Structure 1
Amino acid sequence: MTADGTLAGGPRLTVDVFAEPVRRVGGRWIAAFAFAWFGVWMAQLTPIQLLLPAQIQEQLKTDAWVQNVIAFGIISGISAVCAIVAFPVTGALSDRTTSRFGRRRPWIAAGALLFAVSLLLLGLQTTMVGIGVFWCLALTGFCVLTAALTATISDQVPVDQRGYVSGWLSAPQAIGIIAGILLVTMLALGTFLGYAAMAVLLIVFVTPFLFIPDAVLLPSQRAPWSLRGMIDSLWISPKKYPDFGWTLLSRILVNFGNAFGTTLLLYFIEFGLHETPGQAQDDLLVLTLIYMVFVIAAALVLGKLSDVLGRRKAFVFLSSTLQAIAAIILAFVPLLSVAMVAAGLLGLGYGCFLAVDQALATQVLPDPETRGKDLGIMNIATAVPQALAPLLGALLVFISGFAGLFVTAAVFAFAGAVAVSRVKAVR
């Protein structure tokens, strides 16, 4: 630590870990942050989009898509319970960590290790129970890692830079999906090698961020702790903190809308558009590529623009509406060419939403001393819809077909736009 109260070898961090950051982070910080998220998204989304459904189908030994989706949905739904617990609890624990390595870095390292080891063991499973157990452990590692990683935005990035930096959380999501799918399909890695590749690359890409300095919490700065107090702190009253409540509700709704529109896309192409499994995978790759290009452009350009204009709500409202329009198009014009247009609109809307909504979330937190826990609660609104959407989506398709699924996606996305319009403290 230098004489002026900063940590040597990285961005200048105030001794008061609870102070609002004012010094802009540099290129090294942003690059390490972006690479970490690239590894995280590739390791989480490649299994969700490709490896896990294929592994489940291999165990069930049936081509009946409803049975496969329901089994996938049950496993995802159970893993959602892990996310609901792991996100806020590990966020709260990182808020109180007094390690000499900082508050967040120990949890980033531990989460990455748990995530990677669980993926390796998941690739070895030959029973549905084993698949369920190790996917739950993998998602728990994901939650531990990302709860701490997300909190570094509030800890170290000033408000007028958060839209741009959050874009580097969002853009790697699209790149990670396409990179993971390409790696597994083009190299024909199979189940175990696919999971192993994701595990190794996760560690490789997260490691550089562990060398970014992290302000140390002194024991004297840590508030008294009790189990009851921590449990009570997991409830944030929407009446007392309405902006936090509306932002959380908006995030839940929009992420459900996006998840309904994307998690069953492979099944839509294969069974809704009546394509062969091989052709469906090729078309999924094309749609994902289109989606990726628009997510990256929207996240980086519109995230930065929201910083320049000092406005968040209008961008979140517009992004949610674009996703609703994309879902409506898919519902009523089920053609591959139209799906390509919808993929572009969905990517544009979701890329903007991911970047700007993350920046908005950091500005409505109730207490600077509990940023990790509060952002952990916010992160539930991202992970749980992704986990529950396959099962709920399968039920919707069973009841009302793919058109009903996409109409529901549109309703959820637009409801999210309405919810964010109720936020008062942020423009």
Structure 2
Amino acid sequence: MTADNATAGRAPSTVGVFSEPVRPVGGRWIAAFALAWLGVWMAQLTPVQLLLPAQIQDQLRTDDWVQNVVAFGIISGISALCAIVAFPVTGALSDRTTSRLGRRRPWIAAGALIFALSLLVLGVQHSMVGIGVFWCLALTGFCVLTAALTATISDQVPVDQRGYVSGWLSAPQAVGIIAGILLVTMLALGTFLGYAAMAVLLVVLVIPFLFIPDAVLLREQRSPWSFRGMVDSLWISPKRYPDFGWTLLSRVLVNFGNAFGTSLLLYFLEFGLGDKHAEDDLIVLVLIYMVFVILAALVLGRLSDVLGRRKAFVFLSSTLQALAALILAFVPLFSVAMVAAGLLGLGYGCFLAVDQALATQVLPDPETRGKDLGIMNIATAVPQAAAPLLGALLVFVAGFTGLFIMGAVFAFAGAVAVSRVRSVR
């Protein structure tokens, strides 16, 4: 169903829910949106980068990094399966929600609660099974929350403001990584207090966005529903909607490329370069990466709005990430790694902001924005979850050089895929 067909014949109130927004969102909206994402990224990335690997290593009681990475990869891979289901299903349910609070806010609140409670319980687990189960529940809460939160961009932000607003989704990711890691390490919080701190900050930072108005869908405005119909709707034909398919493929490829370049960076420093100060030097690289992610997300995201172009920026961002991976592959020095971290941050920050804006412009049906963006979100979450295990296998077969070359190949392939999009400049 096209946007024109979707709005034809509806009552004005219905069109108001499903039509493209035209009024720019203000500073209060953007600030609440950015704070919510800061809480989300701290709660998701601090466990991925620090708490979860350390918790797994404590259970395995081995210094063999391959065993640790494989165990972490298995748990991440299982959680990725949860994301594959949770993202589109909760997005589809939020599309049909008729709560007086709106379509998205109930799911944002529920997702934050599930996420936070799962992190608290995860912090007291002392078995691999318990760690796996509650990390999967935590990631499910993350999916519920972010599927609804991402959909608010399509619901409320006009097209010519989406690059800038998406920058405020992306920039907090970089801040969240370093802020979470520094909070846990500098205060020596340990496993339980580390998870608890992330859970509390998540809830506190998401709450302001729950006061942002959300359009209410009336019961009579919903199309007929069936379980079979919902399952069928999870498949979006790339032949019928080629731009959606190419954008989804590009997102999968680029996120795999980025994850191959970042997920095993600590092990690259420690075992690839023989760095005796690997943890401290990792923080240096993360800081460099963070600065360039923030600059690229906010500046280049806004520039894409001004120029009315998306594809060129996504193509450039993918190419920069590929270049960074090739530098790491063929010049394995810490000084060079700092340059690569800057290029990677510049490329990925631009990609996060502009590709999110691009994704909102290739959705098949305004009635199913939440579900369709949930499918798009799979392409971000699954590569990040699967990359540690796949990356460890690549290192085992071809060393760190092979890992980074593969990262470059995936990033270049993502650039080629986005060039095939036709409906967006």
Instruction: Please give the TM-score of this superposition, normalised by the length of structure 1.
Output: 0.96
1:25-424 equivalent positions in 2, closer than 5 A: 25-276=25-276, 279-424=277-422
Q: Secondary structure at the match of 2:17?
A: coil
Q: What's the CA shift string for 1:89-108, capped at 9, x where partnerless?
A: 00000000000000000000
Q: Is the 8 A contact 2:163 2:305 kept in 1?
A: yes
| In structure 2, distance between residues paired with 1:198 and 1:134 | 15
| In structure 2, distance between residues paired with 1:338 and 1:64 | 27
Residue 273 of structure 1 deviates from its aligned partner by 1.4
**Letter of the structure 2 residue corresponding to residue 363 of structure 1:** Q
Residue 275 of structure 1 deviates from its aligned partner by 2.5
Q: Is the 8 A contact 1:243 1:423 kept in 2?
A: yes
| In structure 1, distance between residues paired with 2:293 and 2:114 | 29
| In structure 2, distance between residues paired with 1:337 and 1:120 | 39
| In structure 2, distance between residues paired with 1:328 and 1:186 | 33
Residue 406 of structure 1 deviates from its aligned partner by 0.4
Residue 15 of structure 1 deviates from its aligned partner by 6.9
Q: Secondary structure at the match of 1:343?
A: helix
What root-mean-square deviation, in Å, do the aligned CA atoms of Structure 1 and Structure 2 show? 0.9
Q: Secondary structure at the match of 1:303?
A: helix
Give unpaired runs (5+ residues) of structure 2: 1-12
Q: Which residue of 2 aligns with 1:23?
A: 23
| In structure 2, distance between residues paired with 1:319 and 1:285 | 23
**Letter of the structure 2 residue corresponding to residue 405 of structure 1:** L
Give unpaired runs (5+ residues) of structure 1: 1-12
Q: Is the 8 A contact 2:14 2:221 kept in 1?
A: no
Q: Secondary structure at the match of 2:16?
A: coil
Fraction of identical pairs, as percent: 87
Residue 280 of structure 1 deviates from its aligned partner by 1.4
Residue 269 of structure 1 deviates from its aligned partner by 1.1
| In structure 2, distance between residues paired with 1:64 and 1:102 | 50
| In structure 1, distance between residues paired with 2:337 and 2:186 | 23
Q: What's the CA shift string for 1:112-159, capped at 9, x where partnerless?
A: 000000001111010000000000000000000000000000000000
**Letter of the structure 2 residue corresponding to residue 172 of structure 1:** P
Residue 14 of structure 1 deviates from its aligned partner by 8.7
Residue 421 of structure 1 deviates from its aligned partner by 0.1
Q: Which residue of 1 aligns with 2:8?
A: none
| In structure 2, distance between residues paired with 1:281 and 1:405 | 20
**Letter of the structure 2 residue corresponding to residue 64 of structure 1:** D
**Letter of the structure 1 residue corresponding to residue 183 of structure 2:** L
Q: Is the 8 A contact 1:122 1:131 kept in 2?
A: yes
Q: Secondary structure at the match of 2:235?
A: coil
Number of residue equivalences: 413
| In structure 1, distance between residues paired with 2:139 and 2:105 | 19
| In structure 2, distance between residues paired with 1:125 and 1:261 | 30
| In structure 1, distance between residues paired with 2:294 and 2:242 | 31
Residue 270 of structure 1 deviates from its aligned partner by 1.3
| In structure 1, distance between residues paired with 2:99 and 2:47 | 33
Instruction: Please give the TM-score of this superposition, normalised by the length of structure 2.
Output: 0.96
| In structure 2, distance between residues paired with 1:266 and 1:296 | 22
| In structure 1, distance between residues paired with 2:266 and 2:75 | 18
Q: What's the CA shift string for 1:270-298, capped at 9, x where partnerless?
A: 1111124xx21111111000000000000
**Letter of the structure 2 residue corresponding to residue 188 of structure 1:** A
Q: Is the 8 A contact 1:312 1:426 kept in 2?
A: yes
Q: Secondary structure at the match of 1:17?
A: helix
Q: Is the 8 A contact 2:33 2:169 kept in 1?
A: yes
**Letter of the structure 1 residue corresponding to residue 404 of structure 2:** F
Q: Secondary structure at the match of 2:410?
A: helix
| In structure 2, distance between residues paired with 1:422 and 1:116 | 40
| In structure 1, distance between residues paired with 2:308 and 2:234 | 30
Mean Cα displacement is larger for which, 183-192 or 230-239?
183-192
| In structure 2, distance between residues paired with 1:369 and 1:256 | 30
Q: Secondary structure at the match of 1:359?
A: helix
| In structure 2, distance between residues paired with 1:154 and 1:69 | 37
| Runs of 4+ deviating beyond 4 Å | none
Q: Is the 8 A contact 1:14 1:215 kept in 2?
A: no
Q: What's the CA shift string for 1:333-364, capped at 9, x where partnerless?
A: 11111110000000000000000000000000
Q: Which residue of 2 aligns with 1:5?
A: none
Q: Is the 8 A contact 1:15 1:215 kept in 2?
A: no
**Letter of the structure 2 residue corresponding to residue 228 of structure 1:** R
